[in-house]
Structure 1
Amino acid sequence: MTDASEVLFLGGRSGVGKSSVAAELHAQLSAAGVRHCVVEGDNLDLAYPPPWEHHLAERNLAAMWANYRALGYRRLIYTNTVSVQQVSALTAAMGDAPRVTAVLLTSSDATARTRLARREIGTAYDLHVQRSDAAARSLAATAPPSVHRIPTDDRTVADVAASVLALTGWATR
């Protein structure tokens, strides 16, 4: 394997299945003996008040990726709603000019609401639905043409993950 790194950015609205697909990719890659790591980008700057103006997510990604690289990891799965809109900033934070595969997972409003209702059982459900709908519209309008779009409606997580994995070529290298 080459020393060059590779990154898979998984983006999409809340409830589209980013975390589930990342977990399935992890399972499939692990079963195939493919060395990789997974970073849930939403956790890199989850704070109140939001520290976005300080680029905390990028700073934390830089620190985490440096640690993974030092241990020999070269493949990163990174999930975050808007990661496909922030490819330049995130790859710059990685610091090693990775080969990029960017995937926007999509779903209907009904599918996202059904999935969100399974996990958001408190007061945040309505806010999550509003943010999810707004993110879906924004991502559809602004994600660059280079971003692969993969629908998740009426598909199993394993099927979606297999489609994503095929785009990376990681299972064959």
Structure 2
Amino acid sequence: MVNMRSEVLFIGGRAGVGKSSLAFELHAELAQAEIKHCVIEGDNLDLAFPPPWEYQLAERNLAAVWGNYRDLGYLRMIYTNTVSVRFTEELAAAMGDDPKVTAVLLTSSDEAAAARLRGRIQGSDFQDHLERSIAAARELDFSTPAWVHRISTDDRGVKDVASEVISLLGWTGVGSED
């Protein structure tokens, strides 16, 4: 099993689109099916001030964290980060084991994202978050490679979106040790 090729799902999208909710639902469904996997929230790999982006800290930390999972026999990873779908080559390279890559850009209308953000952001910085979300949506739409799957989350439940993603992955029905 150690020599088997790993697989990674990169989930990207604007703030308020449902990346974390999707990752948690995928985790629940895959765990229920006894599919061995891990979930990594990419935002936590380089969350610091001042931002350390010029040092490729996210990639360095991903290499370390994935190495620990890989040593324990994990072959499947779900990775969330707003812009992960734009940097799949760099992130996959950081994994160090030539993974099979699937990438999904979650999309939503500005109104749907605003409603979701209102539910979790309290205080005076709501408008700033919303404006960054709108700008990120435009940039992601423009700069995400065409091969990346685009899935709208508007008027859809997380279980419905998860079912669509699981069908893209083909990770079910293979047992917990695959």
TM-score, with structure 1 as normaliser:
0.98
The match for 2:52 is: 51
Q: Residues 3-152 of structure 1: matches in 2 within 5 Å?
A: 3-152=4-153
1:91 positional shift: 0.5
Deviations, residues 24-50 of structure 1 (Å, cap 9, x unaligned): 000000000100000000111111111
SS in 1 for 2:10: strand
Deviation larger for 56-65 or 120-129: 120-129
Secondary structure at the counterpart of residue 76 of structure 1: strand
SS at match of 2:40: strand
Q: After the TM superposition, which segments of 4 or more aligned residues of structure 1 sit over 4 Å from their partners?
A: none
Residue deviations 1:36-69 (CA, integer Å, cap 9, x gap) = 0000001111111111011110010000000000
Q: Give me the whole-angstrom Cα distance separating, in 2, the residues matched to 1:11 and 1:166.
A: 18
SS of structure 2 residue aligned to 1:170: coil
Deviation at 1:130, TM superposition (A): 1.1
Distance 2:123 2:54 in 1: 28
Unaligned runs of 5+ in 1: none
Secondary structure of residue in 1 paired with 2:48: coil
| RMSD (Å), alpha carbons | 1.0
Structure 2: distance between partners of 1:15 and 1:56: 25
Size of the alignment, in residue pairs? Answer: 173
| 3-state SS of 1:103 partner | strand
Q: Which amino acid aligns with 1:82?
A: V
